[in-house]
Amino acid sequence: MKLALHWKILIGMALGVAFGIIMSMIGMNQIVMDWVAPFGTIFISMLKMIAIPLIIASLIKGISDLQDISKFSKIGIQTIVIYVMTTVIAVSIGLTLVNIVNPGKHVSEQTIADILNDGNNDPTSKISAASQTQEQGPLQFLVDLVPDNVIGSMSDNGSMLKVIFFVVFFGICMLLIKKEHRDPLHNFFVGLNEVILKMVDLIMLYAPIGVFALLASLVASTTNPDLFIALGMYAITVVLGLLLMLGFYVTVVRLYTGKSPGFFFRGIGPAQLVAFSTSSSAATLPVTMERVEEHLGVEEEVTSFVCPVGATINMDGTSLYQAVAAVFISQALGFDLSFGMIGTILVTSVLASIGSAAVPGAGLIMLIIVLQSINFPADKLAIGIALVMAVDRPLDMLRTVINISGDATVAMIVGKRVGKLGEPIEKDWDDNYKVEHP
Ligand code: ASP
């Protein structure tokens, strides 16, 4: 019997961690960085390489398949509303938990001193990145939606929303032209889409090696695991919140679509493992889309819009983390939070997660803006950020899993609402070696 892909990926991850630990113990970290890490970087690059072409092909095909613009606006509005709702729920869970557990009260002066002395936790670059973001005006997000040069935007993975704007506009205009002109174009994008989905399949065959390299290099470059224990209560609070969020997703999926948690996890599992290993919802996007469409049964018209938009604006894990971290830092550094400030954290965490880039560590930069919104004292800000930075990477890996799980959940809900959730047409990954034409 052939081993299922998610088992292969899990084995790759476990071996990667074990290998990283052994190599660190015998002091051969540099060998891992020089000879193993590049294979992880190649895996991430391959996934990112196909993200923009996949969005273009699948979204144009999806919209032009709809045959009706009003259906698209229905999908669009529902997606955004449900995304905001799940994010508000995530932040509320985070705020409730952190106020029950009070993890900041468990941090000793010694831990703070240790972290400040650890050269790896210098927050200066994060703080300057945050201040650049903050200097923008309130309507900047609208300006940022519209590309002035779409070819330029397509060459930048950070400009996904701009590409989506152009492609949606393009798809809608395709519906408005004569059928004889539309059809050849439509067929072209159908073919392109199939090819790129096939590329995702083949890249995923390489995933076990990719995640092995990513985790081995991560472990080999981790300098001070003791800090994780010192900040244990904070990390546990974040992890608990993320688990509750996962419980919330499977409950909603069960109640709203009738699909079991087993079905959900089998479907989205490989994407969750890739999210964990890469810490980037953007890099995971091609896998998320493929899994949601072919394994959760959400039709392409919905998947092609909900998933890329979700990868950019829907980050439930990140928003929950930002809320917990903001309160934790305030508690640890003795900054009293009023009720109004908690409300401000709620609103800014929702907005900050929408604004966070789908790349490793982005949530930490936006956390600075959340803290500044409650007038957190500037002299303590750097200490607070250094504090959470010490354990950011593992938490980033976990919150990225929640970010993409939220996108998959919303895709299923929207799919159900607009009658585009069916039975998945599962393919065996390895079958994809075969040539499918006669
Ligand atoms: N790494 C996260 C993501 O890509 C963003 C973050 O929370 O830092 O989804």
Tens-binned pLDDT, residue by residue, of the chain (438 aa):
578 888 999 999 999 999 999 999 999 999 999 999 999 999 999 999 999 999 999 889 888 887 778 888 899 999 999 999 999 999 999 999 999 999 988 777 777 777 777 666 667 767 766 666 666 666 777 888 899 999 999 998 878 889 999 999 999 899 899 999 999 999 999 999 999 989 988 999 999 999 999 999 988 887 666 666 668 899 999 999 999 999 999 999 999 999 999 999 999 999 999 999 999 999 999 999 999 999 999 999 999 999 999 998 999 999 999 999 999 999 999 899 999 999 999 999 999 888 788 888 888 888 998 999 999 998 888 888 988 887 888 999 999 999 999 999 999 999 999 998 988 876 655 445 555 554
Nearest CA to ligand 1 atom 6: 363
Instruction: Domains for the chain: give ranges and CATH numbers.
Output: 5-436 (1.10.3860.10)
List all residues 6 or more positions away from 337 whose beta carbon is below 8 Å from its beta carbon: 327, 330, 345, 374
Closest CA to 253 of 242, 241, 240, 266: 266
What is the predicted pLDDT for the residue at 226?
Answer: 64
Q: Is 77 exposed, middle or buried (0-12, 13-18, 19+ CB in 10 A)?
A: exposed
Distance from the alpha carbon of residue 437 to the mean position of ligand 1, in angstroms: 39
Distance from the alpha carbon of residue 296 to the mean position of ligand 1, in angstroms: 23
- 8 A C-beta contact, residue 203 and residue 50: yes
Distance from the alpha carbon of residue 313 to the mean position of ligand 1, in angstroms: 11
- 8 A C-beta contact, residue 21 and residue 221: no
Residue to probe by mutation, ligand 1, list 359, 388, 402, 405, most atoms within 8 Å of CB: 359
Between CA 330 and CA 103 the distance in angstroms is 10
Ligand 1 atom nearest to CA at 360: 1
- pTM of the entire predicted model: 0.90
- Helix %, strand %, coil % for the chain, to 5? 80, 0, 20
List all residues 6 or more positions away from 53 whose beta carbon is below 8 Å from its beta carbon: 192, 196
Contacts 24+ apart (CB under 8 A), 153-158: 154/52, 154/56, 157/48, 157/51, 157/52, 157/282, 158/357, 158/359
pLDDT digits (tens, 9 = 90+) for 334-378: 899 999 999 999 999 999 888 788 888 888 888 998 999 999 998
Closest CA to 167 of 193, 140, 134: 193
- 8 A C-beta contact, residue 295 and residue 266: yes
What is the predicted pLDDT for the residue at 438?
Answer: 46
Distance from the alpha carbon of residue 311 to the mean position of ligand 1, in angstroms: 9
Give me the residues paired with residue 421 across strands. 298
Q: Provide the token pair at 271.
A: 């994407």
What is the predicted pLDDT for the residue at 378?
Answer: 86
Between CA 69 and CA 361 the distance in angstroms is 37
Between CA 299 and CA 313 the distance in angstroms is 21
Between CA 110 and CA 125 the distance in angstroms is 25
Q: What are phi and psi of 224, to 5 degrees?
A: -130, 80
- 8 A C-beta contact, residue 413 and residue 252: yes
Query: HSE-up of 351 (CA within 13 Å, CB side)?
Result: 16
Between CA 376 and CA 384 the distance in angstroms is 10
Pocket, ligand 1, Cβ cutoff 6 A: 279-281, 315, 318, 356, 358-363, 396, 399-400, 403
Distance from the alpha carbon of residue 278 to the mean position of ligand 1, in angstroms: 10
Distance from the alpha carbon of residue 124 to the mean position of ligand 1, in angstroms: 19
